[in-house]
A and B are shown apart, each in its own frame.
Chain A
Amino acid sequence: MTAVAEERNVAEARPSSHRLAELIFRFRELGIVLALIIVVGATAIDNHLFLSATSLQNLLSSASIIALLAIGETIVIVTRNVDLSIGSVLGISAYAVGVLYRDHPHISIGLVFLAALGIGVVCGVVNGAVVTLARVPSLVVTLGTLYIIRGIDGAWAGGNQVNSSMLPENFNKIGYGTLAGIPYLGIIAIVAVAIATYAMRSFRTARDLYAIGSDPEAARLAGIPVGWRVFLAFVLSGAIAGLSGAVWLSYYGSVDAIAGVGYEFQVIAAVVVGGVAIFGGSGTVLGAALGALLLNTINSALVVVNVSSFWSSAVAGAMLIGAIAFDRLIAVRVAPSLRSRRRRRG
């Protein structure tokens, strides 16, 4: 992409369709924002209550959790791997937080988030260690841990449920509180996305992740410790999923053994819609977070226009496929224009 940006000035005599394709490719975030405006606008015309403050706050809050998870998933997918276990990590961490509060009602909130983080890190370490040490495709490993962690969660929780009456007020407030009209969850997500965007753009370690995703072999030859970086990506993804578990519980208020089932697919769809290449090597956290917001907005919009919410998973799947097909189409159209330009300059 940087090469494309540098050559932006030299590109005059290109067919307009190629220029359009490049524009779309470069301004993916802009495209998502446009799509968001269209969806919100169309839904608001149908039902003006969609733009009410409560509705928007709910929308932002529920999108925040997917957006948080999307940060971790982006970090992993950028390295040309995938983490399917995040929904299960979120579930077990949420239940652990619930049990902590049930058994020790006066525990400090910092300690609770530390526990959630710890559980996430442990899961991430397991995923990362198996993927990097045993050199096994992450798809298989995390498909396995998806069910293993969920199974442990199920064995632990059984049919039990922790509900909001067992949770202290200051914890629940994270889920529903607002600051100047913006829900706390939204603020958390925005801050997290901002930090992650900065880190992924500026930190050397983060740039290594992109290098690994573009070409693992070249990255290794360039002296990047590929194994450690991929391990780190999985640990970060696990840690974020663990923290998201605590946030999830504060928003939904009650937790049982099926918390977060199927979130991995929503999150992967959001990440890919947000322009993160499934082949690794490119994409931004900001795009992924916007993808999460778009997906959530569409799901809420469906309910408002009286389409059953049971279709939401079909929408996520269709958007995932649409996004990767779209990316592919753009890549195929952009490639010849890049090649011809290189010839002209050379």
Chain B
Amino acid sequence: MAELEDMKPGDEAGSRRPMRESLGLFVRWEALLLVLLGCTILYGASVSPYFLQKSSLFYICLNVGEVAIMALPLTLIVVTGEIDLSVASMLGLCGVAMAELFKHGWGIWPAMIVAVLLGAVLGGFNGFLVTRVGLPSLAVTIGTLTLYRGIAQGILPTDTIGGFPSHLTNIGVLPVPGTRIPYSILFFGALAVVFAVVLHATPLGRRIFAIGAGQEAAFFAGIRVKRIKFWLFVLSGMLSGFAGVLWSLRFASARYDSAIGMELVVVTIVLLGGISIFGGRGTIAGVVIAVAVLGCLQTAMTDDQIPAQDQNIVVGALLIASVILPNAGELYRRARARLRSAEARRHAAAAIQSEGP
């Protein structure tokens, strides 16, 4: 990702302050997100009378649980200026691995643990290629997106493996006892707290921001850039593996195409959450609100009987909007400056002409 940043002309790089900073405390990005969340809830309430009932909270949360878990490590990776597009493929492959082991007589718990460890290995492979071989994370994770999904497809081409113990598959239909929250969101909540503390209140978090703000500078400040990035990729793989376990249990089956294309939603959540694609900026709180927005939006659209593929139009547009909007203030200023200089040229030309003869 870092090399894409070079596309910006240099003399403007310094003046490129994103809108969410220049507008000050009143209109922080998170505040805008809360407004968006409110709009989404209003939309949901307008299309379905059940949307605002307590029971629908469970389904809203259930739909984004796994995606939300994968969004957390991706947040840290994007803050360091890298990207991981392979998360959904790791989810699929780990789910298939768990199911295959279970089918071949393993206990469900060992199979689940191996799936999570496999996720760590897959993420470690990404991290190794990015940090030790020195390849751009964009290219590496486009490759492993295809590779991991391809391996899952090779192992389990057309079949579906099910038959997991029902006390575990219940996590897809039953909330945590005494609440209306599904298990996946419980895990997400706990992880979000840990991630928020680590990112915003520990030296490690400050190092992660420092890497995103300037890789070279961070390196010369004594930060182990490569090591931190490597472990972030491992973490991303591990939590994707965990999400794969949850996904397979929720649907009570594993298929090679589980969560295919879901990297769109994960990346959208992270960027909508206000994490700068150029690295170095963003908050976990923003990502948590973005999870809520996506959850409400998808459930509302499903209530509105919009088919899944059409929902992707909205999510894709949201993704593009969430990278354009932070630049909007700067774009506006640039357009105005260009108009002014054009006008000044016209005036000057007119003045010369009138003096001429």
Inter-chain CA distance A332–B331, complex, in Å, is: 39
* Chain A residues whose C-beta falls within 8 Å of the C-beta of B239 in the assembled complex: none
- By the criterion CB–CB under 8 Å, are A308 and B154 in contact? yes
Instruction: Give the A-binding residues of B (Cβ under 8 A).
Output: 1, 3-4, 6-10, 83, 85, 129, 133-136, 138-140, 142-151, 153-154, 157, 261, 263-264, 267, 271, 277-278, 307, 309-313, 315-317, 319-320, 323-324, 327, 331
- By the criterion CB–CB under 8 Å, are B316 and A144 in contact? yes
Is chain B's binding surface mostly helix, strand, loop or mixed?
helix
- Chain A to chain B contacts (Cβ below 8 Å), 29 pairs: A80-B4, A80-B6, A81-B4, A135-B327, A135-B331, A136-B323, A136-B324, A137-B277, A139-B83, A141-B320, A143-B319, A144-B264, A144-B317, A148-B320, A155-B310, A155-B313, A257-B309, A269-B143, A280-B3, A311-B150, A314-B153, A316-B150, A317-B143, A317-B148, A318-B150, A320-B139, A321-B144, A325-B133, A329-B133
* Chain B residues whose C-beta falls within 8 Å of the C-beta of A148 in the assembled complex: 312-313, 316-317, 320
* Chain A residues whose C-beta falls within 8 Å of the C-beta of B139 in the assembled complex: 272, 278, 320, 324
**A70: shortest Cβ distance to chain B, in Å?**
15
User: Per a CB cutoff under 8 Å, which of A82, A144, A272, A320 touches B320?
Assistant: A144
**B38: shortest Cβ distance to chain A, in Å?**
24
Inter-chain CA distance A230–B9, complex, in Å, is: 14
Inter-chain CA distance A215–B315, complex, in Å, is: 33
- By the criterion CB–CB under 8 Å, are B317 and A321 in contact? no
Inter-chain CA distance A230–B324, complex, in Å, is: 18
- By the criterion CB–CB under 8 Å, are B3 and A80 in contact? yes
User: Is A312's CB within 8 Å of the partner chain B?
Assistant: yes
User: Per a CB cutoff under 8 Å, which of A145, A220, A226, A311 touches B154?
Assistant: A311
User: Per a CB cutoff under 8 Å, which of B133, B147, B149, B323 touches A137?
Assistant: B323
Inter-chain CA distance A332–B135, complex, in Å, is: 12
User: Per a CB cutoff under 8 Å, which of A134, A145, A215, A265 touches B331?
Assistant: A134
- By the criterion CB–CB under 8 Å, are A140 and B151 in contact? no
Inter-chain CA distance A317–B148, complex, in Å, is: 8
Interface string of A119-146 (1 = CB under 8 A from B): 0000000000010011111111101111
**B278: shortest Cβ distance to chain A, in Å?**
8
Inter-chain CA distance A325–B277, complex, in Å, is: 25
Evaluate whether A217 and B6 lie within 8 angstroms (CB atoms) in the complex, with A140-B271, A140-B277, A308-B157 already known: yes
Inter-chain CA distance A304–B293, complex, in Å, is: 49
- By the criterion CB–CB under 8 Å, are A265 and B316 in contact? no
Evaluate whether A321 and B147 lie within 8 angstroms (CB atoms) in the complex, with A140-B277, A268-B142, A279-B3 already known: yes
* Chain A residues whose C-beta falls within 8 Å of the C-beta of B85 in the assembled complex: 143
* Chain A residues whose C-beta falls within 8 Å of the C-beta of B144 in the assembled complex: 317, 321
Evaluate whether A134 and B323 lie within 8 angstroms (CB atoms) in the complex, with A150-B312, A313-B153 already known: yes
Inter-chain CA distance A217–B6, complex, in Å, is: 7
Minimum-distance CB pairs A-B, first 8: A317-B147, A314-B150, A317-B146, A313-B150, A154-B309, A151-B313, A320-B143, A148-B316
Evaluate whether A314 and B147 lie within 8 angstroms (CB atoms) in the complex, with A137-B323, A308-B157 already known: yes
User: Per a CB cutoff under 8 Å, which of B145, B147, B153, B310 touches A310?
Assistant: B153
* Chain B residues whose C-beta falls within 8 Å of the C-beta of A14 in the assembled complex: none
* Chain A residues whose C-beta falls within 8 Å of the C-beta of B136 in the assembled complex: 278-279
Inter-chain CA distance A265–B319, complex, in Å, is: 20
**B86: shortest Cβ distance to chain A, in Å?**
9
Inter-chain CA distance A269–B142, complex, in Å, is: 9
* Chain B residues whose C-beta falls within 8 Å of the C-beta of A137 in the assembled complex: 1, 4, 7, 277-278, 323
- By the criterion CB–CB under 8 Å, are A265 and B320 in contact? no
- By the criterion CB–CB under 8 Å, are A265 and B313 in contact? no
